[in-house]
Structure 1
């Protein structure tokens, strides 16, 4: 299982790839909706890429429930800790 720092880098990189930004522009407190106006297709693309990269199942409601990037990282970390 990756460390939280490794997971955070992966999440920030995937988000920045989908949104066309730099990973260092995406922070723990970044709200994808408020800060980037992300739409459902972009959110689904982020989820699909994270599933492939992390080899974990991510429910759409988990992604939509995440209030910011840090919350999404915490959610993914707890998902990775549970055997699939």
Structure 2
């Protein structure tokens, strides 16, 4: 999956959990600072991404992400590592 495609999937899943338009979510969006996202919401976002992308994310990875761009980079790397 190309990074641009992945970015769209991430933005759509995040927007779905937060109930906001996809257009409000970009790579610089800080979910905690901008939307007050807590760890439960991060876990929900992670679960939706895992299901959509058929990959696993550790809780530490989710909690360590500073913004959407970090999430896209991490997922892109994970997907490239798969056989």
Q: TM-score, normalization: structure 1?
A: 0.95
Q: Please, which runs of 5 or more residues in structure 2 have no aligned partner?
A: none
Q: TM-score, normalization: structure 2?
A: 0.96
Which residue of the partner structure matches residue 34 of structure 2? 35
Q: Which consecutive aligned stretches of 4+ in structure 1 deviate over 3 angstroms post-superposition?
A: none
- Quick one: distance in 1 between partners of 2:24 and 2:38? 18
Please give the residue correspondences for 1:2-81 in structure 2 after superposition, counting only pairs within 5 Å: 2-81=1-80
CA RMSD of aligned residues (A): 0.9
> How many residues are paired up?
83
Q: Please, which runs of 5 or more residues in structure 1 have no aligned partner?
A: none
User: Relative contact order (alpha carbons < 8 A, sep ≥ 6): 1 or 2 greater?
Assistant: 2
